[in-house]
Structure 1
Amino acid sequence: MKLKHKFFLAFFITNITLVGMMLVFIYLNFTTEFNHFVEKQERKHFIKVKQQLTQFYTKANSWDTITYNTQLWRSIVEPEQQNNEQNASLKNPPPSLLWFELPGNLLQTGRRISLYNQQKQVIVGREKINENPLIEPILLNNNVIGWIGLVPSKLAANSPAKAFLNAQLHNYIIITLLVIVLAFIMAIVLSKHLIRPIQQIVLATDELNKGNFTNRITPLSQDELGTLSNNFNKLANTLQDNQQMRFQWMSDTSHELRTPLTVLRSHLIAVQDGVFVADTKRINLLIDQVSNLNLLVDDLSQLAHSDTASLHYQFKTLNIASLLQHTLDSYSARFTQCQLYVAPLELDNSVNYQVYGDRERLQQLFINLLENTCRYTEQPGQLQINLELVKQDLKLTFSDSAPGVNKQDQKQLFDRFYRVEKSRSREYGGTGLGLALCKQITEAHKGDISLQGSPLGGLQVTLTMPQIG
C-alpha cells in the first residue's frame, strides 16, 4: 500500500469514526433532553386542565354538560391560550441541543387526556381508566369528584413527538452522509498535499541513485519535510562536489604521473635508438625521475589512507618542542645546502609543551613544512620558528623570507596538486601534495593549520594544537 493510500485511510477512517460518535452522542442527548422537555410541558398542561375541570364542576355541579358537548371539552383540554403559552415557551426551549422551534400543536396533549366520574366510569376518552399510565383524582373540598387520566407522548402509539424524533434522526443521518462525503474529499486533498513533498524526495533520490547530482528539491513547507528537503539538497551538493573533486583528482593524478613517465619513456627510447648514451649522467637523470615518481606515489598513498580513515595513528603524550628541535637538528645540513638561516628556537621553560599525538606523523608534518621552505625560498633565505602558549593551545608559526604568495593562492595551497608555479615546483621535485598531507595530519590531531603573509616577506604557516595538562 502506497503512503498516499495510508494517509487517505487514516484521515477517512478517523473522520468517519468521529462523525459516527458525534451522531450517536448528539442523537442520544437530543432524545433525552427532548423527552424531558415533552414530559415537563405535558405535566404543566395536565395540571392546568385539572384546574379548569375543577372550576367547571364547581359551577355546573356535574359532568353532564361535558358528556354531551364535545366542543366544550376541547375548549378545556386544548384552549387557545394554552397553545399561545406553549408557543411562547417553545420559542426558547430549554434543551441545549434543541436548535429549532417546535410547532405549537406538536404534542397534542389534549387528545390523550381522559375524564372519569367518581365511580371511574368514562365521561370522555378511553373506555377503561387503567389504559392511562397517569391517573390522578379531581378533588373539590377534599372530596373526589372525578378522575383524570393521561397517556404520555412517549408511550402513545403514533405519537407526534416520536414522529418528530424520527424526522430529526433522518435529518441527522442525511447530514452525517454529507459530512462523510466531505471527509472523503478532504482526505483525498490532504493525502495528496502531504504526499507531494515526499514524492519530490522519492523522485529526487531516484535521480541521485542514477548519478544525477544536479537535481534539487524546492521545499514546499517549513516542517520536518521541508528540513528533509533542505538536507537532501545539502547531500546532493556534497555528492556533486565530491564527484567534481574525484574527477579533478583523477585528472590531476594522471597528469602528474604522466610527466615523469613521459620523461622516462623519451630518454629510454633515445637510448634505445642510439641518440643518447646510457652513461652515468643519463642513468642518474632516469633515477631522479623514478624518485620523483616514487615520491608522488607515496604522497598519494598517504592521502588515500587518510581519506579512508585507514591511516594508523599511535597517539601518546609527547613534547612537541623536543620533537621540533630534533627535526631542526636533523635538517641542519639541508639548511646549509639551501643557504637558509634558521633562527634558534626560543622556548619558555615555564610552559608545558606536551600534546597528545603521533610522533612519526608530527615529524612528517614538520619535515614537509621545512622542505617547502628549503625548496621555494630564494637564496640566501631566512626561517623563523616560534612556539608559544595561547590560552589552551600551543601555537607554532613557520615564517620564511621571499618570495611571498598572494592571498588568492594561499586559499588553494592546501588543495591537492595545486602549486603556485608548477614548472618551478617540478624543477625542485614538488608534487603539490605536501600541504594537503599537513592538513590531514593536523586535523587528525584535532588541530588547525592556516597560511598568511610572513613578516619576512614570504609565507607564514600557523599551526595550533590542544595542550595537555
Structure 2
Amino acid sequence: MFVFIYLNFTSEFNHFIEKQEQKHSSQIKQQLTQFYSKTNSWEAVAYNNQLWRSLVEPQQNSQDQATKRNPPSLLWIEMPGDLLKTGRRISLYNQKKQVIVGRKAINENALIEPILYNDKVIGWLGLVPSKLATNSPTEAFLEAQLHNYIIITSLVILLAFIMAIVLAKHLIKPIQQIVEATNELNNGNFTNRITPLSQDELGTLSNNFNELANTLQANQKMRFQWMSDTSHELRTPLTVLRSHLIAVQDGIFAADEKRIKLLIEQVNNLNLIVDDLSQLAHSDTASLSYQFKTLNIATLLQHTIDTYSARFTQCQLHLAPLRLDNSANYQIHGDQERLQQLFINLLENTCRYTNPGGQLQITLKQVKQQIEVTFADSAPSVNEQDKQKLFERFYRVEKSRSREYGGSGLGLALCKQISEAHKSQITLQDSPLGGLQVILTLPQIG
C-alpha cells in the first residue's frame, strides 16, 4: 500500500507541477511578447538582470507572500508563482536560437517553445522542468513526503503487529479452552464446562459444547442408572430360580405343579426384561422398520383390547368397552404392528401401575382431520414434575414399585418414537378417573 500510494502521489504531483509550470511559462511568453513589442529588441534584457527577473518572476501579491512565510505541507490548488523557482530554469534565445539569458545551448532545455509576435518568431523560450532539475523544490517536497510516508507506514506496521498479537491472543484463548475441554470430553470427563469469553462464533461454539457435555453427562447417568436397575431386575428372578432349583435338587422342595408355576413366572419376568433390552437396541440403532399402509385404527384397537382383556381380569381391573362413533371415518396411514405395540405398551402400563379394582376407559373420536385416541385410567396419578419426564428413556416414577412389576422405564419412550414416526402427537394429562390420561392424535385419511 505504501509503494502504490507513493508512486501514485509522485505521478499526480509531477503532473500537477507540469501544469503549473506550463501556466507560468505561458504568462512569461505573454510578458516577453509585450516587452518585445515596445522595444523591438532583446538587447535590454540581455544586459539587465533585474529586468529579466521582473519578467520571468512576477511580483507577489499579499496572498503569495503569506504563503511563502507559512508554506503548506501538502498540495494546494493555487500554487504561488515563485514557489517552484520556475524563472531560474527559464532561458531566452533569439530567432537564430542564440542564447540571450540562461543556458548557452538551447538543447540543454527539455522544453523549447517559440515566442511569436504578429505570426513571426521573435525568439525561443527554454525550460528545464522541476522534476529534471537538481535541488528543485519539487524534489525536496517529494523527499519530505517520502520521509513522512515511511514514518507513517512504520507506525502502521507496528500498530498492525500489536493489534495482531492482541487479536491472536483474543482468538487463541477460547480456542485453547475448547481444545482442552474436548480432550477432557474425549477422556470421558463429562463434567468439564467452558465459560464463553465472547458473543461471536467462538462463543456460540462454547455454548454448543456445554450443551453437548450436558447431554453426554445426562446420557451417561441414565445409562449407569439403567444398567444398575437392569442388573438388579435380572438378579432377582435368577436368584429365585437358583434357590428353588437347588432346593428341589436337595429334596427340600418337591417339583410339584405349584413349584413349577413359580419357576415359570420367574422365567416370564426374565423374558420381559430381555424384550425391553431388545427393543432398546433396535431403538438406539434406529433400526425399527415401518411398513405403512391404509388401515382402520378402530378395528386394530378393538383387536388389541380383545387380546388383552384376560390380562385385565388377572390384574383385577375393569376394561370398559371401546367408545367410538360408528359413523366416523377411522382410516389412517400407518404400520399395524408398531401401532399395536404402542397400544400394548399403554395397556400394560395400566395393568402394572393401576391399583386393583380400578378401571380403564378408551375413547376413539374424530376431531377435524385427525383421529384422537384416549386412554384414561384410575388412581394412582403422577405429579406434574414426573409427568414431563415419563417419555424419557429409563425414567421410572418409583423405582422400587417399577421393579416389583417388572418395568424398565422404556415403554412410553418407545410409544413416543412410534407416534413421531406416524407424524402424530402423544401427550399426558390428568385423568378424570383419578389416574393418568394418554392422548394420541393421528392424521386421518380422506
Provide the TM-score with structure 2 as the length reference.
Answer: 0.83
CA contact (8 A) 1:204 1:217 kept: yes
CA contact (8 A) 1:115 1:146 kept: no
Q: Structure 1 residue 309 and structure 2 residue 292: aligned? A: no
Match of 2:428 among 451, 455, 458: 451
Cα displacement (A) at 1:323:
0.8
Q: Which moved more, 1:268-277 or 1:247-256?
A: 268-277
CA offset digits 1:260-290 (Å, max 9, x no partner): 2222233344445555444433332222112
> How does 1:200-349 map onto structure 2 within 5 Å?
200-272=177-249, 275-349=252-326
CA offset digits 1:32-79 (Å, max 9, x no partner): 22322233234334433554x347x54xx7655554444444444445
CA offset digits 1:100-123 (Å, max 9, x no partner): 997874422332333455665544
Give the Cα separation in 2 of the matches to 1:135 and 1:403. Answer: 116
In 2 relative to 1, CA 91–272 (structure 1 residues): closer, same or farther, beyond 3 Å? farther
Is the partner of 2:436 in helix, strand or coil? Answer: strand
Give the Cα separation in 1 of the matches to 2:211 and 2:403. Answer: 38
CA RMSD of superposed structures (Å): 3.7
In 2 relative to 1, CA 271–73 (structure 1 residues): closer, same or farther, beyond 3 Å? same
Q: Percent identity?
A: 68
> How does 1:423-434 map onto structure 2 within 5 Å?
425-434=402-411
Give the Cα separation in 2 of the matches to 1:315 and 1:62. Answer: 117
CA offset digits 1:125-175 (Å, max 9, x no partner): 333456554343475xx5979535232324754261552354146333454
Give the Cα separation in 1 of the matches to 2:318 and 2:382. Answer: 20
Is the partner of 1:395 in helix, strand or coil? Answer: strand
Is the partner of 1:331 in helix, strand or coil? Answer: helix
Q: Structure 1 residue 374 and structure 2 residue 351: aligned? A: yes
CA contact (8 A) 2:86 2:130 kept: no
Give the Cα separation in 1 of the matches to 2:150 and 2:408. Answer: 84
Cα displacement (A) at 1:320:
0.9
Cα displacement (A) at 1:397:
0.9
Cα displacement (A) at 1:321:
0.3
Cα displacement (A) at 1:386:
0.6
Q: Which moved more, 1:153-162 or 1:442-451?
A: 153-162
CA contact (8 A) 1:39 1:152 kept: no
Partner of 2:437: 460
Cα displacement (A) at 1:344:
2.5
Partner of 1:136: 114
Give the Cα separation in 1 of the matches to 2:52 and 2:386. Answer: 116
Q: Which moved more, 1:450-459 or 1:223-232?
A: 223-232
Counting matched residue pairs gives: 444
Q: Unpaired segments of 5 or more residues in structure 1?
A: 1-17
Cα displacement (A) at 1:300:
1.6
Partner of 1:11: none
Q: Structure 1 residue 359 and structure 2 residue 347: aligned? A: no
Provide the TM-score with structure 1 as the length reference.
Answer: 0.80
Letter in 1 for 2:16: E
In 2 relative to 1, CA 376–206 (structure 1 residues): closer, same or farther, beyond 3 Å? closer
Cα displacement (A) at 1:385:
1.1
Is the partner of 1:349 in helix, strand or coil? Answer: coil
Q: Structure 1 residue 150 and structure 2 residue 126: aligned? A: yes
CA offset digits 1:22-41 (Å, max 9, x no partner): 33323322222232223323
Partner of 1:384: 361
Give the Cα separation in 2 of the matches to 1:302 and 1:232. Answer: 30
Q: Structure 1 residue 41 and structure 2 residue 24: aligned? A: yes
Partner of 1:4: none
Letter in 2 for 1:150: G
Q: Structure 1 residue 164 and structure 2 residue 140: aligned? A: yes
Q: Which moved more, 1:252-261 or 1:265-274?
A: 265-274
CA contact (8 A) 1:402 1:459 kept: yes
Give the Cα separation in 1 of the matches to 2:84 and 2:354. Answer: 113
